[in-house]
Structure 1
Amino acid sequence: MEHQQVKVVIGDRLGKGQNVAKGVEAAGGIAIVIPGVGADMKLGDVMNKENADFGISFCGSGGAGAITAQTKYKYPAAYSLRSVEQGLTAIRDGKKVLGYGFMDTEELGRRLTEQFIQAKRG
């Protein structure tokens, strides 16, 4: 049975996101890390261009990039997230954009991607 790989875009206000990307890849997904400072504000644009399954935005408040993506592209978003569990719930609820405070961890990327794959299978 062939399945399309899950594509996840990561935008971090400080230009990070490499650890989350490792977790996405460990779960079998494709991670696209937006380079440079202010990358969180480009999240919706890159998700749209890449036809991504979901995106993760990181900034101090956990809101700016996610709200921008939601406003511009109408992606369902959850923001001000502070734990892996909150993100898992958001994925189960059908959110495509997750806004986090700074939380660049491999576990976050892996578990969110695993949850998305599981939710997609139904």
Structure 2
Amino acid sequence: MSVYVDGFVVPVPQDRLADYRKLARKAGKVWKEYGALQYVECVADDVKPGKSTSFPQAVKLKEGEVVVFSYIVYKSRRDRDRINKLVMADPRLEAMIDPKNLPFDGKRMFWGGFKGIVEM
């Protein structure tokens, strides 16, 4: 069975991390309710700026911010597309749609969808 994964990287102000965690818990419940297999949010613990590329460079990390890496696992891209459509229409996550309500700078967030190639 090959899975499909959405991955996200976002800079979060350290003083808004509790707000981010609260939003992530709510979002995770909604994604799982609609069929996501797994929802994971991780805060940087051992992430250093690189010479050419790095997580901090990718999000233009500022003083007082931390990198958050997240991923959501689905059975397939088809499931991902169906689930995301439902999630984005869910009124419980309206705060995620308005950038003014987010506890991070959405303009420096990046994401993408990935097909699984090795699963163990």
More helix by share: 1
TM-score (normalizing by structure 2): 0.28
More strand by share: 2
TM-score (normalizing by structure 1): 0.27
Structure with bigger RCO (C-alpha 8 Å, 6+ apart): 2
